[in-house]
């Protein structure tokens, strides 16, 4: 386990994050526009993963230690699967809130991710859209960034890395869900002390989305039924009705999710739920209260770019 003084610096990590974000908006967007799948591979492995690994290595840190390249047990693997299954509807609910707000004041943009129409396309999509982000993005966010931010304590490391993860997608429609999932992935990494937990969780989450889209696309009928409902009910009433129903399901799944996370076997005896043991995960880790002014500058620049980009895309 890394001591706080041996962790990657927050300033260096934030500068690397800003550079990766700007490359994502420029080079990443260009290569994805040319050809989506090859563009995504370039984005994930060249823009996200490679700089992360090079930075860790060039700064003299151990990649295995910073990324927590530890094994997990079969029981932990099973728990992670169920944690993601129960977290997925909550993430969808949170994204639905974002879409509802944007639709009220701006325009909702359809997803550019293609839905696989056959088995071969599904396998290709799994490798590029599910597995690659699961590996590359987790190495950056639950690996380098969260580890670096542990200089400020695990609570801030968990929340800040999740917020940056959500914003890194540069999509307000897909913001709250990834932030929530980032927190969940961070918790399971802390509990298992392994980045594999987050890689499995992230990959499974994206696979569920692909599988649902593939199933609806292959077996059909859903869109026509949905359009019929849409014509029979005013748009805002329909959205409010949907958010109430989804909210009820999200609440139930949330209660079960907390129980699952609390029961997840860990390398230490720690509790993540709303109990007296909640803070046990975070004790004795804080070495400094906050970022200094220089460490904040890359994040301020990133937030400014995020706001301007999303205003242009959704509200201009």
Please state, in angstroms and rounded to a whole number, the distance separating the CA atoms of residues 215 and 48: 30
Q: What is the pTM of this model?
A: 0.89
- Tell me what the mean pLDDT of segment 215-229 comes to: 53
CB count within 10 Å of CB 269 equals: 8
CB count within 10 Å of CB 131 equals: 17
Residue 303's Cα: distance from chain center in Å? 17
Please state, in angstroms and rounded to a whole number, the distance separating the CA atoms of residues 115 and 205: 15
Residue 70 scores a pLDDT above 90: yes
- Tell me what the mean pLDDT of segment 265-288 comes to: 55
- Tell me what the mean pLDDT of segment 128-151 comes to: 98
Query: In this predicted structure, what is the pLDDT of residue 254?
Result: 97
Query: In this predicted structure, what is the pLDDT of residue 268?
Result: 55
Site of tokens 């304590």: 153
Query: In this predicted structure, what is the pLDDT of residue 283?
Result: 54
Instruction: Give the pLDDT confidence of 151-178 residue by residue, as tens digits.
Output: 999 999 999 999 999 999 999 999 999 9
Please state, in angstroms and rounded to a whole number, the distance separating the CA atoms of residues 306 and 195: 27
Please state, in angstroms and rounded to a whole number, the distance separating the CA atoms of residues 152 and 222: 48
Among 13, 181, 160, 24, which residue's Cα sits nearest to residue 95? 181
Mean pLDDT of the chain: 88
Q: Which residues contact 95 (CB under 8 A, 6 or more apart)?
A: 173, 174, 175, 176, 177
Query: In this predicted structure, what is the pLDDT of residue 218?
Result: 77
CB half-sphere exposure, 61, CA atoms < 13 A: 27
Among 187, 154, 177, 153, which residue's Cα sits nearest to residue 264? 187
Residue 130 scores a pLDDT above 80: yes
Query: In this predicted structure, what is the pLDDT of residue 280?
Result: 54
Query: In this predicted structure, what is the pLDDT of residue 219?
Result: 74
Q: What angle do CA 85, 176, 154 make, to 5 degrees?
A: 80
- Tell me what the mean pLDDT of segment 144-156 comes to: 96
pLDDT band with cut points at 50, 70 and 90 for residue 113? confident
Query: In this predicted structure, what is the pLDDT of residue 236?
Result: 57
Query: In this predicted structure, what is the pLDDT of residue 110?
Result: 83
- Tell me what the mean pLDDT of segment 57-63 comes to: 97
Query: Would you kindly state where each structural domain of the chain is located, as residue ranges?
Result: 4-315
Residue 271 scores a pLDDT above 50: no
Query: In this predicted structure, what is the pLDDT of residue 201?
Result: 98
- Tell me what the mean pLDDT of segment 282-308 comes to: 87
pLDDT band with cut points at 50, 70 and 90 for residue 244? confident
pLDDT band with cut points at 50, 70 and 90 for residue 233? very low
**118 or 198, which is more confident:** 198
pLDDT band with cut points at 50, 70 and 90 for residue 300? very high
Residue 37 scores a pLDDT above 90: yes
Q: What is the DSSP string of 55-107?
A: HHHHTT--HHHHTT-----HHHHHHHHHHHHHHHHHHHHHHHHHHHHHHHHS-
Q: Which residues contact 85 (CB under 8 A, 6 or more apart)?
A: 204, 208
Q: Which residues contact 21 (CB under 8 A, 6 or more apart)?
A: 168, 170, 302, 305
CB count within 10 Å of CB 277 equals: 13
Phi, psi values for residue 146, rounded to 5°: -65, -40
**110 or 132, which is more confident:** 132
């Amino acid at each position: 386990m890394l001591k706080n003084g041996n962790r990657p610096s927050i300033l260096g990590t934030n500068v690397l994050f800003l550079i990766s974000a700007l490359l994502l908006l420029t080079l990443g967007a260009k290569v994805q526009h040319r050809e989506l799948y090859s563009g995504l591979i370039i984005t994930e492995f060249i823009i996200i993963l490679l700089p992360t690994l090079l930075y860790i290595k060039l700064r003299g840190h151990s990649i295995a230690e910073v990324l927590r390249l530890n094994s997990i047990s079969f029981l932990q693997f099973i728990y992670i699967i169920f944690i993601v299954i129960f977290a997925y509807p909550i993430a969808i609910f949170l994204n639905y809130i974002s879409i509802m707000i944007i639709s009220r004041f701006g325009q909702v943009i359809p997803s550019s991710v293609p839905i696989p129409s056959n088995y071969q396309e599904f396998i290709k999509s799994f490798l590029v859209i599910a597995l690659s982000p699961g590996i590359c993005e987790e190495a950056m966010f639950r690996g380098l960034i969260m580890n670096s931010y542990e200089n400020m304590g695990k609570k801030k490391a968990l929340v800040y890395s999740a917020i940056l993860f959500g914003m890194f997608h540069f999509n307000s429609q897909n913001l709250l869900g990834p932030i929530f999932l980032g927190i969940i992935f961070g918790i399971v990494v802390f509990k298992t002390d392994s980045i594999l937990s987050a890689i499995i969780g992230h990959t499974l989450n994206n696979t569920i989305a692909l599988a649902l889209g593939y199933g609806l696309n292959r077996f059909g009928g859903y869109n026509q039924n949905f359009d019929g409902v849409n014509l029979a009910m005013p748009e805002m009433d329909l959205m409010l009705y949907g958010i109430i129903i989804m909210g009820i399901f999200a609440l139930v799944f949330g209660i079960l999710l907390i129980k699952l996370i609390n029961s997840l076997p860990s390398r230490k005896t720690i509790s993540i739920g709303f109990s007296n043991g909640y803070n046990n995960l975070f004790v004795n880790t804080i070495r400094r209260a906050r970022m200094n002014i220089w460490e904040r500058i890359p994040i301020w620049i990133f937030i400014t770019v995020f706001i301007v980009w999303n205003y242009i895309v959704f509200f201009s």
